[in-house]
């Protein structure tokens, strides 16, 4: 990691990598050549002897709705639909019943692994007739409990629906099944000189169908926008087994209601996404990453404003983290900071088509930022391996937090000028009752990941946090869920971000598309529990 060349003084202010101790290498290669990202290491984070996660129904006040229970006749019917794809072994069902944060646990006794939309259709048709509740599940990397059962819902896994159906090298339009892993899709399109329009820390495990179902944001949102814009079409199986084929590859189609938008962000409550058509941008020829230290959050904001003005069209990401995030990454993951200790850190990525042009613009920006005191230290990388090393510092914060204890996670949108105020507020409010209160996230999108760690789950600490965090967010006209979705955890706090009329219309859409309520019950909408 070397500084950009232009001014001589920049070369000695911006230091290189930390030498042999530079342990901020991304995860080692896993099976089938997949990089083991933070969420791909799910089982590695659970040491032998780890206490079993309490059942969700025992930890939270939730009542089972009057669904049928799975019978031997149901199992026989499922075996006819997906021969060899019916899992009932209790040991094999342990992981799919527990969320990645290990704070929620269902008690499903059946997991189904279809390979085609026709099989999904037949499964849902049977469940609809029998009034059996269904929990669609992709990579199970969600943060709000949307991908695991609350009670004994049938887990419908898309893991075997992992085929690329088509890719057009001129338009960059990819059509694939919902169970394709994001990182594998990224590798597929990058070999063809394109990239996926989204990138997440969970890319080694998450499925594209789950990304769409939760309207995942991620690290490229600043440059390429949300999935509401990049998803061109969907194939969705409805609650009664009907297949809605809106898998268009057209960028412009003004014929009637844009039905696919209903299912983007619906978290499997309106239908099961089985295939996706998505627009992939061309692969940038030049990528640079700068990792910088800032003396305060005011300077972080000024750096962002300056960055937008000076980097313009090549700016592709602007991330920030506080000092406590860096300390936790170092303590639990042994990743070394490449810059001197600072109150805040920012990661800036540029992506363009001309390496010389981009380097010149980035160099001018860095010279200005250092000269004006916005930045106190930093390092720059253009080599792909070193770029990944810097990104690991940001992407693996979630993993570091999970190793620090029980994590109370909040994913909120706020006006950027108020983005960090709630972190300061909570540190004063919680005092010694919390181990750590940290803030990091996508500053360019106004998205704060607010995390509080404690030795163990505490109802009293939860009561101090909620509804305070949601009330504070509502006073700033923010959103209680920026990109993680609603799931089980936030279903009853939507009123802080949506008016009554909007919630009522959502309930009406749910009743129309899933009148028996069998799809992902107890999730997303208030009052279902």
Secondary structure (H, E, C), 289-337: EEEEEECCHHHHHHHHHHHHHHHHHHEEEEEEEEHHHHHHHHHHHCCCC
Q: Which residues contact 193 (CB under 8 A, 6 or more apart)?
A: 282, 283
Average of pLDDT values for 270-280?
Answer: 98
Is the pLDDT at 477 greater than 70? The verdict is: yes
Note whether 272 and 124 are within 8 A (CB). yes
Domain definitions of the chain by residue range: 66-157, 164-279, 286-476
Query: pLDDT above 90 covers what percent of the chain?
Result: 86
Is the pLDDT at 156 greater than 70? The verdict is: yes
- 66-157 has which fold? 3.30.43
Distance CA 247, CA 253 (A): 12
Positive or negative: CA dihedral 369, 375, 378, 382? negative
Q: 29-55: string of b/e by CB count within 10 Å (b at 16+)?
A: eeeeebebbbbbbbeeeeeeeeeebee
Is the pLDDT at 279 greater than 50? The verdict is: yes
Smallest Cα–Cα separation from 362: which of 421, 427, 312?
312
Q: What is the mean pLDDT of the chain?
A: 90
DSSP reduced 3-state for 241: coil
Note whether 247 and 488 are within 8 A (CB). no
Positive or negative: CA dihedral 390, 396, 401, 407? positive
Which pLDDT band, with edges at 50, 70 and 90, does 429 fall under? very high
pLDDT digits (tens, 9 = 90+) for 354-376: 999 999 999 999 999 999 999 99
Would the pTM of this model clear 0.85, i.e. be above it?
yes
What's the pLDDT at 38?
Answer: 31
What's the pLDDT at 210?
Answer: 97
Distances (CA, A) of 445 to 357, 397, 420: 26, 18, 14
Distances (CA, A) of 235 to 116, 231, 519: 11, 11, 16
Is the pLDDT at 515 greater than 90? The verdict is: yes
Distance CA 128, CA 93 (A): 23
Across-strand partners of 35? 29
What's the pLDDT at 50?
Answer: 67
Distance CA 110, CA 93 (A): 8
10 Å CB burial of residue 513 (0-12, 13-18, 19+) is buried
pLDDT digits (tens, 9 = 90+) for 305-353: 999 999 999 999 999 999 999 999 999 999 999 999 999 999 999 999 9
Q: Which CATH number fits domain 164-279: 3.90.420.10, 3.40.50.12160, 3.30.465.10, 3.90.1150.10?
A: 3.30.465.10
What's the pLDDT at 158?
Answer: 98
**Residue 145 in tokens:** 């409990």
10 Å CB burial of residue 508 (0-12, 13-18, 19+) is exposed
Q: Which residue has the tokens 């009329």?
A: 501
10 Å CB burial of residue 188 (0-12, 13-18, 19+) is middle
Identical fold between 164-279 and 286-476: no
pLDDT digits (tens, 9 = 90+) for 214-224: 999 988 999 99
Q: Which residue has the tokens 């899933």?
A: 514
What's the pLDDT at 37?
Answer: 34
Which pLDDT band, with edges at 50, 70 and 90, does 96 fall under? very high
Is the pLDDT at 397 greater than 60? The verdict is: yes
Is the pLDDT at 8 greater than 80? The verdict is: no
What's the pLDDT at 219?
Answer: 86
Average of pLDDT values for 289-303?
Answer: 97
Q: Considering the domain 286-476 in this protein, what is its CATH number?
A: 3.30.70.2190
Checking phi first, is residue 483 left (phi over 0); if not, alpha (psi -120 to 50) or beta?
Answer: alpha
Is the pLDDT at 67 greater than 60? The verdict is: yes
Residues in the chain: 529
Three-class secondary structure assignment of 407-460:
EEEEEEECCHHHCCHHHHHHHHHHHHHCCEEEEEEEHHHCEEEEEEEECCCCHH
């Amino acid at each position: 990691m070397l500084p950009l060349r232009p001014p001589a003084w920049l070369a000695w202010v911006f230091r290189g990598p930390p030498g042999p101790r530079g342990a901020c290498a991304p995860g080692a290669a896993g099976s089938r050549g997949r990089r083991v990202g933070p969420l791909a290491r799910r089982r590695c984070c659970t040491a032998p002897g780890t206490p079993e996660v309490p059942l969700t129904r025992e930890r939270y006040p939730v009542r089972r709705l009057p669904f049928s229970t799975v019978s031997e006749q149901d199992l026989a019917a499922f075996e006819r639909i997906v021969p060899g794809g019916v899992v009932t072994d209790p040991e094999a069902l342990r992981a799919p019943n527990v969320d990645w944060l290990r704070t929620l646990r269902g008690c499903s006794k059946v997991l189904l692994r279809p390979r085609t939309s026709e099989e999904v259709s037949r499964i849902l048709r049977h469940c609809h007739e029998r009034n059996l509740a269904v929990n669609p599940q992709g990579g199970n990397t969600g943060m709000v409990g949307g991908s695991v059962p609350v009670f004994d819902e049938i887990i419908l896994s898309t893991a075997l629906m992992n085929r690329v159906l088509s890719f057009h090298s001129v338009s960059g339009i990819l059509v694939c099944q919902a169970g394709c892993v994001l990182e594998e899709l990224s590798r597929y399109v990058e070999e063809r000189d394109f990239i996926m329009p989204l990138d997440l820390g969970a890319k080694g495990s998450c499925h594209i169908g789950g990304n769409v179902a939760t309207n995942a944001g991620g690290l490229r949102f600043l440059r390429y926008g949300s999935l509401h814009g990049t998803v061109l079409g969907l194939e969705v199986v409805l609650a009664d087994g009907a297949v809605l084929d809106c898998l268009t590859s057209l960028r412009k189609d003004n014929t009637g209601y844009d039905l696919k938008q209903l299912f983007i962000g619906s978290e499997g409550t309106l239908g099961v996404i089985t295939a996706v058509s998505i627009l992939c941008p061309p692969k940038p020829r030049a990528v640079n990453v700068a990792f910088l230290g800032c003396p305060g959050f005011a300077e972080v904001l000024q750096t962002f404003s300056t960055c937008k003005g000076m980097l313009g069209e090549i700016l592709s990401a602007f991330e920030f983290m506080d000092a406590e995030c860096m300390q936790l990454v170092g303590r639990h993951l042994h990743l070394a900071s490449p810059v001197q200790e600072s109150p805040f850190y920012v990661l800036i990525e540029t992506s363009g088509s001309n390496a010389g042009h981009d380097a010149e613009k980035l160099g001018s920006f860095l010279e200005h930022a250092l000269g004006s005191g916005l930045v106190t230290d930093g390092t720059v990388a253009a080599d792909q391996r070193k770029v990944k090393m810097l990104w690991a510092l940001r992407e693996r914060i979630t993993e570091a937090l999970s190793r620090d204890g029980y994590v109370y996670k909040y994913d909120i949108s706020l006006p950027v000028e108020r983005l960090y105020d709630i972190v300061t507020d909570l540190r004063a409010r919680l005092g010694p009752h919390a181990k750590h209160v940290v803030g990091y996230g996508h500053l360019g999108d106004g998205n704060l990941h607010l995390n509080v760690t404690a030795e163990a789950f505490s109802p009293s600490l939860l009561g101090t946090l909620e509804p305070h965090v949601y009330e504070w967010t509502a006073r700033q006209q923010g959103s209680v869920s920026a990109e993680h979705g609603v799931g089980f955890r936030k279903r009853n706090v939507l009123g802080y971000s949506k008016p009554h009329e909007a919630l009522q219309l959502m309930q009406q859409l749910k009743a129309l598309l899933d009148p028996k309520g069998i799809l992902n019950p107890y999730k997303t909408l208030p009052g279902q529990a």
